[in-house]
Structure 1
Amino acid sequence: VKAVAFVDESQVVGGHDNGDVRRWNIKGGQQLGQTMKGDGAVYSIAVSQDGRWIVSGDDGYKAIVWNALTNEKVHHTEHGHYVCAVDISSDCTEFVAASWKTTNNVRLFDISSGTQLLPPIPHSNVVGVKFSPDGSRFATASSDSGVRVYSTHDGRVLFDSADSPWWVTPLAWSADGQQLFVARKGKIMSFNISDSSSSEWSIHENQSPVSIASNGIFIACSADSSVSLWDCMSHQQLGSIITHTAGIRFIALSLSGGYLACG
């Protein structure tokens, strides 16, 4: 499993190395519906808040929109490299996809038709993309070019952290849309979008690559086989570290914070 996302508090969807996209019942563990088949290893996955849409990004250079109720393909968009990050807006009408490419690699689409809504945006080697809670902005995180925030309306850059010499992870927003979180080995960094200030705090003692997920209230952070939970506002750890039986590459947190999925 290379990517995971929650459909709701009862279902989770996973993207696999072989291109499979599968939806599962959380409590019983049964697969729900037919297996969706991507065009290569699935690197990223997102589910709309209304439960209607699934978007997957794969190394076949495609972002695929699926009907989450029937597991049928609706359409796909083609990209210049493998699609390593996707997200769906909170009003469930738009999605953004970023490919591993240096030019014109971030693109915004209408989710139902696949129509491109903005000119392509360049941000090299993007590893994460995330809409703000109100959908008016979206952010990208790059492995070598920092974090940027754009206007969904016209694509203007609203915030730029400048170049960062460290690998960053998938992004997470606070519930009020004022803080943006990324992580690197051993630390989480918080950017205050309103005044462009930043802060960071230490997390796991090991220096393994980090992945984070958030429901706007809590941040779940994985490193190697360990997972910790943090409060978005106070930056305080919640409870003790959870140890998994195997290494974790991606995590997801349900909207209520009641469930955590690891892949």
Structure 2
Amino acid sequence: MTEFPGTAWPSVMERQGASIRHLEKHGNILSAMSSLTTTMDTKRIEIVSQSNVRAVAFADESQVVGGYDNGDICQWKIEDGQQQGPTMQAGDSIRAIVTSRDGRWIASGDRGNKAIVWDAATHEKVSEFTECEDYVFAVDISSDCTKVVIGSWGTHRTVRIFNITSGTEILPPLSHSYIRGVKFSPDGSRFATASNDSGFNIYSTDNGNALFDSGHQGSSNASKLVTPLAWSSDGQQLFVASRGKITCFNVSNSLFSEWPIHETQSSASIASNGRVIACSASSSVSLWDCASQKQIGSIITHAAGINCIALSPSGGYLACGVRNNITIHNLRDVLPMEYFGCGVSEHPHHAT
């Protein structure tokens, strides 16, 4: 199988020899070593490796986890870019990364048709799930940190839920074609799936019953890796990114609203902490207020296409995977303080 719709991905590169570059904009002058430009006057930290970044997630407000084309997973300290703990090696190109709310687990999905849950403290494997029938493009961990949902490519048995520590499959496999995203609701009672061509569904975590099927509305229509799902902090709205727009689905009355994003021709990804939505398309990121659905701040522009994004639990940091780099933007310089605080996926701080 090739990545839909047949994208040729780079060959596996050597293990990370990461370096860090601290970048700060001074007028129109950036460090000659930087390939990043931005419309915002923010402080940035750039963590550079020798393999393409395919997935990124925050472990907490001080650490970020990157998943790479060569199958490596590395945890980095934001302050100085130092690697934290040993490299986790999945053996196949990483396609999804998520961390648990309590900071105990890291889950990954890869092109080897498997998902792995790692101990975030020791970086050892806790469980490995090889039952997937195709590439794993999406993973998420429930708010009680006991369950992992896995979404894979294909047409049958594409959504699986397992107990993290025992490895037991909790529900029968579900079929929603060509999965691009999976996401538990904040209280863990529901989970959503997003398809490349068959819209989005919402299921009960207790029994797997389908609670909503959008048909084809909200299909990702993506030609690259995307993270298309995010919940509001109260779990009453589901946000779904697709080419050129974000759709908001109201769980209580099944009504839709949608708004155009800043870039209409490219595949879109979103990340949210329940207050702010960061939306990437092509080489830029726009920021949105979850409640008002209005754009806030300025558009962040990179010199190359963005592979993946993540928002820290407080909303203070935005991580963008661009080529071999993870670039950390400090959003506290550009957004009002009201947007920062405890988010949907708040992680505790860990001593380093």
The answer as to whether partners of 1:186 and 1:204 remain within 8 angstroms in 2 is yes
Indicate the residue corresponding to 1:248 in structure 2: 306
Indicate the residue corresponding to 2:216 in structure 1: 163
Indicate the residue corresponding to 2:194 in structure 1: 141
**Structure 1 residue 206 displacement after superposition:** 4.5
The answer as to whether partners of 1:101 and 1:125 remain within 8 angstroms in 2 is yes
**What are the ranges of 5 or more consecutive residues in structure 2 without an aligned counterpart?**
1-52, 322-352
**Structure 1 residue 171 displacement after superposition:** 0.4
**Structure 1 residue 105 displacement after superposition:** 1.2
Which structure 1 residue ranges, 4+ long, deviate > 3 Å from structure 2? none
CA distance in 2, matches of 1:108, 1:261: 27
What is the TM-score with the length of structure 1 in the denominator? Answer: 0.97
Structure with the higher strand share, 1 or 2: 1
**Structure 1 residue 223 displacement after superposition:** 1.1
**Structure 1 residue 170 displacement after superposition:** 2.1
Matches within 5 A, 1:30-109: 30-78=82-130, 79-109=132-162
Indicate the residue corresponding to 1:173 in structure 2: 231
**Structure 1 residue 208 displacement after superposition:** 1.7
**CA 1:35 to 1:174, structure 2 compared with 1: closer, same or farther past 3 Å?**
same
Partner deviation per Cα, 1:114-142 (whole Å, 9 max, x = no partner): 11000000000010000000000000000
**Structure 1 residue 166 displacement after superposition:** 5.4
Deviation larger for 239-248 or 6-15: 239-248
Matches within 5 A, 1:111-126: 111-126=164-179
What is the TM-score with the length of structure 2 in the denominator? Answer: 0.73
CA distance in 1, matches of 2:68, 2:108: 11
The AA in structure 1 aligned to 2:87 is: T
The AA in structure 2 aligned to 1:67 is: D
**CA 1:225 to 1:166, structure 2 compared with 1: closer, same or farther past 3 Å?**
closer
Matches within 5 A, 1:7-46: 7-46=59-98
The answer as to whether partners of 2:197 and 2:221 remain within 8 angstroms in 1 is yes
**SS of alignment partner, residue 250 of structure 1:** strand
Between 1 and 2, higher relative CO (CA 8 Å, sep ≥ 6) is seen in 2
Indicate the residue corresponding to 2:270 in structure 1: 212
The AA in structure 1 aligned to 2:230 is: A
Matches within 5 A, 1:186-201: 186-201=244-259
The answer as to whether partners of 1:53 and 1:65 remain within 8 angstroms in 2 is yes
**SS of alignment partner, residue 33 of structure 1:** coil
**Structure 1 residue 163 displacement after superposition:** 2.0
- Residue 151 in structure 1 maps to residue 209 in structure 2: no
The AA in structure 2 aligned to 1:59 is: R
The AA in structure 1 aligned to 2:136 is: V
The answer as to whether partners of 1:211 and 1:249 remain within 8 angstroms in 2 is no
**Structure 1 residue 186 displacement after superposition:** 1.9
Report the RMSD for the aligned CA atoms in angstroms. Answer: 1.1
**Which structure has the greater CA radius of gyration?**
2
**Structure 1 residue 245 displacement after superposition:** 3.1
**What are the ranges of 5 or more consecutive residues in structure 1 without an aligned counterpart?**
none
CA distance in 1, matches of 2:203, 2:247: 19
